[in-house]
Homo-oligomer: A and B are copies of this chain.
Amino acid sequence: MRATILHRPGDIRFEEREDPKILAPTDAIIRLSATCVCGSDLWPYRGIQEVPGPTPMGHEYCGIVEEVGRDVRTVKPGQFVIGSFFASDNACPHCKAGYHTSCEHREFVVGAQAPLLRVPLADGTLVATSEAPPKELVPSLLATSDVFGTGWFAADAANVKPGSVVAVVGDGAVGLLAILSAKHMGAERIIAMSRHEARQKLAREFGATDIVTERGEEGAARIKELTKGVGADAVLECVGTQESMQQAIGAARPGGFVSYVGVPHGVQLQGQDLFFRHVHLHGGPAPVRHYLPELIDLVVEGKAEPGKVFDLTLPLEQVAEGYRAMDERRAIKTLLQP
């Protein structure tokens, strides 16, 4: 097959690679219906994260099960399935606590920007839909695999409840779906921090009630101003930089909640600052598997359309252009069709 390989920062190639095979008896091979480019793929693409050598890319996926290992019990060939970027056993104490991305047997899924993908721990990782979905639902189902689940975790980890005043830092696909998630959880007011017109529009469509264009300390001050000096109940940090984290912490009320769901790059927090700000802090790699059944239902029942974040659709072989468009912020998120 031909698949996506990152050779060096900026150098994405769609090239020949061996077809994936069942390696462990708990593996499944799926034929992808759709895949996409993640904001986190841009870290190595931009050279901010090291590229150790030619690296198969992609960890968001949905598709039809092609083959399963001999120990796979619940997943069957022919089923339409969705899984998370971390394979999990769905059985260990961490999975039972809802933290599948800290599973004792977790394994990162790699190489999803391809026609075929090996998924480890298939029973614990994949969730099947009751029937093959109509084509128009595929983008939204693909979104549950990572970006919607991550936005949902951002809202959940920040304790968003009916009536909450929420601020979202970051207008990438995760930030936008954090808005959609907060709306579904009953937030009364959702302040989106964005300077980008197309993203502001989608933010409003997903449920944002206010837009703040200021950043950093000014952004935090503006949130305070909008909340009568109090600050937001919940701030969802969906970027992962020092500036965005400080902005999020500064925008929360004392006793408020800050969640962070983008891998922090070079973020350092001062204990004494956090202490006197009185914020709750929680984040990490989103335990998407925990939320998958609920999110798939929302999509299948037509209650949420997270696939709207895909504003560029390309044939898989044009994956390099998909990266470029996101890197240059011409696209929010690129869907790739194998």
Residues of chain B lying within 8 A (CB to CB) of residue A245: 271
CA distance A257 to B218 in the complex (A): 31
The answer to whether B230 touches A278, judged by C-beta atoms less than 8 angstroms apart, is no
Contact residues, A89-114 vs B (CB, 8 A): 93-94, 97-99, 101-102, 104
Q: Does A8 contact B (CB under 8 A)?
A: no
Instruction: Of the listed stretches A31-39, A124-132, A183-191, A282-290, name the one at the interface; the rest are far from the partner chain.
Output: A282-290
CB contact between A278 and one of B99, B266, B267 (< 8 Å): that residue: B99
Q: Does A24 contact B (CB under 8 A)?
A: no
Q: Does A254 contact B (CB under 8 A)?
A: yes
CB contact between A268 and one of B104, B254, B270, B284 (< 8 Å): that residue: B270
The answer to whether B264 touches A272, judged by C-beta atoms less than 8 angstroms apart, is yes
Residues of chain B lying within 8 A (CB to CB) of residue A267: 270-272
Scoring A255, A282, A285 by chain B CB atoms within 10 A of each residue's CB, the highest score goes to A255
Distance of A127 from chain B, by nearest CB (Å): 20
CA distance A266 to B273 in the complex (A): 11
The answer to whether A94 touches B254, judged by C-beta atoms less than 8 angstroms apart, is yes
Contact status of A94 and B253, CB under 8 A, knowing A245-B271, A267-B270? yes
User: SS class of chain A's interface: helix, strand, loop or mixed?
Assistant: mixed
Q: How many residues of A contact B (CB 8 A)?
A: 40
The answer to whether B101 touches A278, judged by C-beta atoms less than 8 angstroms apart, is yes
Residues of chain B lying within 8 A (CB to CB) of residue A265: 272
Q: Does A279 contact B (CB under 8 A)?
A: yes
Q: Does A137 contact B (CB under 8 A)?
A: no
Contact status of A93 and B270, CB under 8 A, knowing A102-B278, A275-B284? no
Residues of chain B lying within 8 A (CB to CB) of residue A268: 268-271
CA distance A97 to B280 in the complex (A): 13
The answer to whether B281 touches A98, judged by C-beta atoms less than 8 angstroms apart, is no
Distance of A251 from chain B, by nearest CB (Å): 15
Distance of A9 from chain B, by nearest CB (Å): 20
The answer to whether B277 touches A280, judged by C-beta atoms less than 8 angstroms apart, is no
The answer to whether B282 touches A280, judged by C-beta atoms less than 8 angstroms apart, is yes
CB contact between A98 and one of B255, B271, B279, B284 (< 8 Å): that residue: B255
Contact status of A282 and B281, CB under 8 A, knowing A269-B269, A271-B268? yes
CA distance A72 to B278 in the complex (A): 29
The answer to whether B274 touches A281, judged by C-beta atoms less than 8 angstroms apart, is yes
Scoring A101, A104, A260, A275 by chain B CB atoms within 10 A of each residue's CB, the highest score goes to A275
Distance of A281 from chain B, by nearest CB (Å): 4
Distance of A223 from chain B, by nearest CB (Å): 14
CB contact between A281 and one of B94, B228, B254, B280 (< 8 Å): that residue: B280
Q: A94-B255, A102-B254, A278-B284 are in contact. List 14 more A-B contacts (CB 8 A).
A: A93-B228, A99-B254, A104-B229, A254-B284, A260-B275, A263-B275, A264-B274, A264-B275, A267-B270, A267-B272, A268-B271, A269-B274, A276-B285, A280-B281
Name the 7 nearest CB pairs between A and B, nearest first. A267-B271, A264-B271, A102-B254, A278-B284, A99-B255, A281-B281, A269-B269
**What are 12 contact pairs spanning A and B, CB under 8 A?**
A94-B254, A94-B255, A99-B278, A101-B278, A240-B271, A245-B271, A264-B271, A269-B274, A274-B281, A275-B285, A279-B282, A280-B280
